[in-house]
Structure 1
C-alpha cells in the first residue's frame, strides 16, 4: 500500500508554484506599466514592426518551397512534397562547388581588403588636425555610398572599356596592349573588390570614427607623458579603444560572407567570367526566375542561410572566448 503524501510537502510544492506565479505576474505587471508609460515610443515603433512582419517574417513561410516540387500554378498548398530532394540535387549538382567556392573567395577578398580599409581610413582621418581637409576627405569618401549600384557598375564598365576606357587609353599611351578587363575571369575578383572599396569604405568608416570619439583624451595625454609617439599611441590606445567595435563589425561581416549582393555581381559578370563570378545568389536568380525551378533555387538559398547562421554563431563563440565583446 502506498504511503500517503505528506500534506506539508504538498503545501510546500504548491507554495513554490504560487511564488513562481506571483513572480511572473509581478514581472508582467511591471512590463505593462513600462509599456503604458512609454506608449508613444511603441506607437512610433509600430510602422517598423509592421514592416518587419510583412516583409521579413511573413516571407519566411515561403521557405517550405525548398521541400516541394513547386508549381507556380498549383501554389504551395497544391505542390508535391519531395522532402530533401532539392537539397540533394543542389549539393550533388555540378554547379554547387564552383558557386560555393566563388562565393567564399569573393567574401574572403572583402574580408581581407574591404574590412580593414574602413578601419585604416578612420585611423588616418582621426590623426588629421586640419578640420577643412578632414571634412573634405570624409565627404569625398562618403558620397560614393549614395551612388546607385547600377550607376557604379556603369562607371566601372566605362572606365575599363576596351576602346574608350580611360585605363586602356593610358595603357595604349604607355605602349601596352589594350585589355578587356571584364572578359578575363582572373581579374573579376579584383575588380569587384576594388569597386566595393570605393563605394563602401567611406560609409563604413563612420562607425569607427564614432568609436574613436568615445576614447578618453586623458589616455592620449598619459601616453604622451610616458614618451609614446604617434604610432605607439595608435597601437596602445586607439586600436584597443575601438577593438570592441571592430569585433562586433567583424562578427556581422562573417554572417554576411555568403550573402553577397547578387546585383553587384550580376551587373559586372559576363558569360566569359562565370568560372569566377558565378555565386550562390546569381545561381538562385538564374535557377528560380530564368529556369523556373523554384524548389531548387529556394533550397540553395536556405543552404546559404544555414551556413551564414553557423558562421555567425561560430564567430560569436570565438569572440566571446578570447575577448569580452560579443553579440550575445
Structure 2
C-alpha cells in the first residue's frame, strides 16, 4: 500500500503524462509477488481467479413467481443505480467543466443492464471513483470509457492470471487518493457551517455511507431530502396575511393562492375550504394565477368546495388557471363542473361577473 501510494503521488511530478495509479498498481504488485508471496490478500485469493474467456449467453427462465419475488430488489437497484450514475456525471461535470445528458446516461445504462445478466453479469452504474480517476489523468471524453472497456477485455483474455495476483492493498491507495481529490472539502465545510437541513442531510448521508454502505447512505439521504423538500414546499403556499390573502368587495370574497397546491399543503387548503363553507360568502373567487403545480389531493379539496357552492346555488369562479393545474382540472372534469363562463383570466372580469 505504501509503495502504491508513493508511486501515485510522485509519478505526476516525475512523469506527468504517465498515469500514477497504473504505475502504483504495477510496482506494488511486483513488490508483493517478490517479497510477500502468499502473505497478502489478492483479487484471486479473495474473489477467485479471473476467467480468461468470454461468458456464454444464458437465457433465464422467466416465471411470474420470480418476477414478484425479484421486483422490489430490481426497483431498488435500478433507482440507486440511476442516482449513483447521475451523481457520478455531476461530479464529472464539476471536475471537467462539462455538461452531461441525464436521459442519454440513463437510457444507455438501462440497455446495458438489460443485456449484461444474459451473460452472467451484474448491474453496472457510472462509478464516481473510476470517472474521477479518468478525469484526473486527463481522460475527459467518452472515448475514455471505450478505452477502459477495451483495456479490461485485453486483461480478461491475455492477462487474467496476472491480474488475479494484484493485492487489494495496491488498490486501496488509488481509491483513497481519488476520494480525497473529489471530496470537495471546502464545499462540504461550507455546507456544514450553514447549519441548515442540507447540513443535516449531508452529515447523515456521510455517516451512514461510512458506517453501513453506499446504498444505505444514499437511500436514507434521498428519503431525508424528500421529507425536507415536502416540508419546505408546504410553507410557501400563501404569501400575505398569515399565508392567506383575503379581499372583500361588494359581497365578493377572493382567496388568492401563491405556490404549489399539493399533499404537503393540503391541511392549509382544507382550513381555507372549511372557513369558506362556514362563512358562505355569496360569491367566491379562487385566484390560482400564481399556482404552478397542483396534485389530486388539492383537486379533491377544491372539488369539495365547488360541490358545496353548487348545492347552495351560489357563485364560484376560477381565476387565472393555467399550465399543469389547468390540465389536471380538465382531466378530472372540475373545470367543466365550474363552467366555462365562470373560468376567467382577469380579476376585473371575475369581480364584474360576481357583482352583476
Q: Is TM (by shorter chain) over 0.5?
A: no
> Which structure exhibits the higher relative contact order, with contacts defined as CA atoms closer than 8 Å and separated by 6 or more residues?
1
Structure with larger Rg: 2
What is the TM-score with the length of structure 1 in the denominator? 0.20
Which structure is higher in helix share?
Answer: 1
What is the TM-score with the length of structure 2 in the denominator? 0.19
Which structure is higher in strand share?
Answer: 2
